[in-house]
Amino acid sequence: MIRIKRALISVSDKTGIVELAKTLKEIGCEIISTGGTKKVLEETGIEVTEISKVTGNPEAFGGRMKTISFNIESAILYDREKDAEEAAKLSIKPIDLVVCNLYPFHKVKESGADFDTLIENIDIGGPTMIRAAAKNFKYVGVVNDVDDYEKIISELKENDGKISAETRFKLMRKAFNHTADYDAIIATTMDENADEKSIRLHFTGGKKLRYGENSHQEGFFYREAGKDESLYDMKVLHGKEISYNNLNDIQGAIDSVKDLDRFGVGMIKHSNSCGLAEADDQLTALQHAWAGDPISAFGSIVSFNKPVELETVEFFELNNEDKSKRKFVEVVVAPDFSEEALKYLEFHKNLRIVQYNPDKCRSKVDMKYLHNSLLLQDSDTKLYDKMEVVTKKQIDVNKKKELIEFGLKAMRQVKSNSIVLVREVDEGIFQLLGMGAGQPNRLISTRLAIDKASENLTMEYDGENIIAYLDQEFRNAILVSDAFFPFPDNVVTASQAGIKTIVQPGGSMRDKKVIKACDDLDIAMVFTGLRHFKH
């Protein structure tokens, strides 16, 4: 541990600095300070040594030169053991603590400041002091975050004015990350002013996972520094360790329900929706999401967009004596759980229960790391540009608008080429009935969606005329495509299943042929004007 006998305080953000300075005075510490900081401290009766008395030079050039000097940097940097004799000869008195935060370059940029103002808000002396103190953390403490003041005050009081090596090491790492981030925002802003796009990313807190996508791969989970919200902050309330694949699917599950206004329930398997429903009550939504593909729902990630109640989760029958009736899922994600619901879910000892609010999961950009390169794009947040019926057969898009929007939201979460079939089961109950995902041929995706819908309808039907039932449900369903139909063959396939409404963006050079096929087969087609590829 080192005793703090002499501290240098120079801060742009004055929050909490008086309380810290008072504590330093209470332990008998000399405080050296600069301009505005010195004034704030002296106004509260705290005695301060003006920095010019240490540097031997006045503050100059409108404050551009204050702390940079041989005397200041030497007092921070010299090795207290091997350099002690030389420091004494040079009359260098050690500085044991540096408290410094930097000119608010990022805030000034966000305010829309002009280029000259940005330049004036590039701190030079601050990063120099911070880096010097961080390098010499063996003998010097460095504090650059206001949120750390309280911890430092407590440690100084508890340890007779001393700071531990462990604390100094933590502060050192934080300091170097801080100056790295500071330089990064300046560098990218200067590139931006030169009409050149650059990006620098900072991720922290790497958690080692059991393994990666497969058991022979290592896996880690990081949090992006400086972000207010992150999936990294989710609360795991119960169950086995969250895996790499779980995390990927949890993100997909959250995305599938975050844009649903009423009670929404989504199920994700291998990054694709295998169940999605929206209703006026949560249990109904869960029942119909599960019915959208009961087989694939086994071992899925289930997400809710609203707090979960006991009545809802009893649907899983986790404590049914007949184990064959228990519904197995890997993870349940929701903004919150009632005490009774949580207790019920905990009956399954391995079930991962995750608390995270989908409404917080709204990123402005999407990124994908390629070989030593990065793809970046705006997030896909817009559903459609229009709802234009382009065929002879017409539908009332205002009456069908909510179901079409549900279909677009469902389709947007399915890997391209994406085809989904959605229906209104009963008034206000919307269900993903079938989907085809990730096929290089759109026609195959269409067939897969129809086959899955037929399978689900057959499983749910309890009558004698299944053909009539399939025909009825397909007539009432809507087929939604993530991109235009390049050929009429998708329309023919849909017609053979009995589908009478198709929603797609349009924009193909063969749109006229596709529309003619719809007219010949008495199908209504709606153009949205907006594609939704998801690779």
Give the span between the Cα atoms of 522 and 229, in whole angstroms.
Answer: 49
Provide the CATH number for the domain formed by 381-527 in this structure.
Answer: 3.40.140.20
Give the span between the Cα atoms of 293 and 524, in whole angstroms.
Answer: 27
Catalytic, 135? Answer yes
Give the span between the Cα atoms of 143 and 129, in whole angstroms.
Answer: 11
| Helix H or strand E segment including 73 | helix 70-77
Chain-centroid distance of CA 371 in Å reads 23
Give the span between the Cα atoms of 491 and 410, in whole angstroms.
Answer: 20
DSSP 522: T
Topology of the domain covering 204-360: Cytidine Deaminase; domain 2 (3.40.140)
pLDDT recorded at residue 226: 85
Give the span between the Cα atoms of 205 and 173, in whole angstroms.
Answer: 12
Buried b (16+ CB within 10 A) or exposed e, 502-529: bbbbbeeeebeebbebbbebebbbbbbe
Confidence of residue 75 (pLDDT cuts 50, 70, 90): very high
For every residue of 75-124, DSSP letters joined together read HHHS-TTTTHHHHHHTTPPP--EEEEE---HHHHHHTT--HHHHHHT--S
Catalytic, 270? Answer yes
Assign domain 2-193 to its CATH architecture.
Answer: 3-Layer(aba) Sandwich (3.40)
Q: How many angstroms separate the Cα of 241 from the Cα of each of 221, 246, 350, 354?
A: 13, 9, 9, 11
Q: Are 204-360 and 381-527 the same fold in CATH?
A: yes
Confidence of residue 66 (pLDDT cuts 50, 70, 90): confident
From the candidates 14, 93, 270, 513, give the one annotated as an active-site residue.
Answer: 270
Give the span between the Cα atoms of 528 and 503, in whole angstroms.
Answer: 7
Pair 393, 519: CB distance under 8 Å? yes
State percent of the chain over pLDDT 90: 92
From the candidates 22, 25, 109, 135, give the one annotated as an active-site residue.
Answer: 135
Confidence of residue 70 (pLDDT cuts 50, 70, 90): very high
The pLDDT mean for the chain works out to: 94
pLDDT digit string (tens) for 470-490?
A: 999 999 999 999 999 999 999
Looking at the DSSP bridge assignments, the partners of residue 203 are 224
pLDDT digit string (tens) for 425-476?
A: 999 999 999 999 989 999 999 999 999 999 999 999 988 899 999 999 999 9
pLDDT recorded at residue 59: 83
pLDDT recorded at residue 67: 85
Pair 77, 57: CB distance under 8 Å? no
Pair 448, 439: CB distance under 8 Å? yes
- Backbone CA torsion sign across 105, 103, 204, 136: positive
Q: Residue 244, Cβ neighbours under 10 Å: how many?
A: 18
pLDDT digit string (tens) for 396-426?
A: 999 999 999 999 999 999 999 999 999 999 9
Give the span between the Cα atoms of 98 and 7, in whole angstroms.
Answer: 6
Confidence of residue 135 (pLDDT cuts 50, 70, 90): very high
The 3-state DSSP composition of the chain as helix, strand, coil percent (nearest 5) reads: 40, 20, 40
Query: At a CB cut-off of 8 Å and minimum separation 6, what does 119 contact?
Result: none
Q: How many angstroms separate the Cα of 152 from the Cα of each of 38, 109, 115, 167?
A: 20, 31, 37, 9
Confidence of residue 372 (pLDDT cuts 50, 70, 90): very high
Residue spans per domain, the chain: 2-193, 204-360, 381-527
DSSP 324: G
pLDDT recorded at residue 64: 84
Q: Residue 498, Cβ neighbours under 10 Å: how many?
A: 17
